[in-house]
Amino acid sequence: MEIGSTKPYLLRAIFEWAEDNGFTAQVLVNAEALAVEVPRGHVVDGQIVLNISSGAVQLHVMDNECLSFSARFSGVEEDIFLPMQSILAIFARENSQGIFFEESDNNGTDPSNKLASVKKPDSSSKSNKGNVANTGADKPKKSHLKIIK
């Protein structure tokens, strides 16, 4: 029996924690991963930060395979599809608490010792009604997030 990845469970847990505490849940996504559907005009350096809070999106699916929802970008409703392996992190916009996931093989069951190559969008990134947001302050800080194996 193959053991499934912990990533979708951790994603749902951090999402629920953010919602319960009034925070804005955001995901950092590898927009170049296979089968990802995001508005390409908002992708920066191959990545996109998306607000997934219940006030910003209409959630369709958050299961062990993918995250799928509808959101407005520049006033146009878009369907977003994120295979689980494309999600690099989930965190609260207000305090950056959350999880950055490791790169892995076999759908998360064989983690390597490498950190995900994560770049925050620069402060000039566009933000539309909170659906795509810049998460960094003006000065970079050392992350307090830890890699969970």
Burial of residue 138 (number of CB atoms within 10 Å: 0-12, 13-18, 19+): exposed
Mean per-residue pLDDT, 105-126 = 37
**Per-residue pLDDT at 2:** 82
Residue 92 near residue 98, CB atoms below 8 Å: yes
For 143, what's the count of Cα atoms within 13 Å in the CB-facing half-sphere?
A: 16
The CATH topology of domain 7-111 is: SH3 type barrels. (2.30.30)
pTM above 0.75, yes or no: no
pLDDT tens across 5-28, in order? 999 999 999 999 999 999 999 999
Burial of residue 86 (number of CB atoms within 10 Å: 0-12, 13-18, 19+): buried
pLDDT tens across 45-83, in order? 999 999 999 999 988 999 999 999 999 998 999 999 999
The contacts of residue 40 (CB under 8 Å, 6+ apart) are 31
**How large is the C-alpha radius of gyration of the chain?**
14
Mean per-residue pLDDT, 103-121 = 40
Nearest to 19 by CA among 79, 90, 82: 90
Residue 114 near residue 100, CB atoms below 8 Å: no
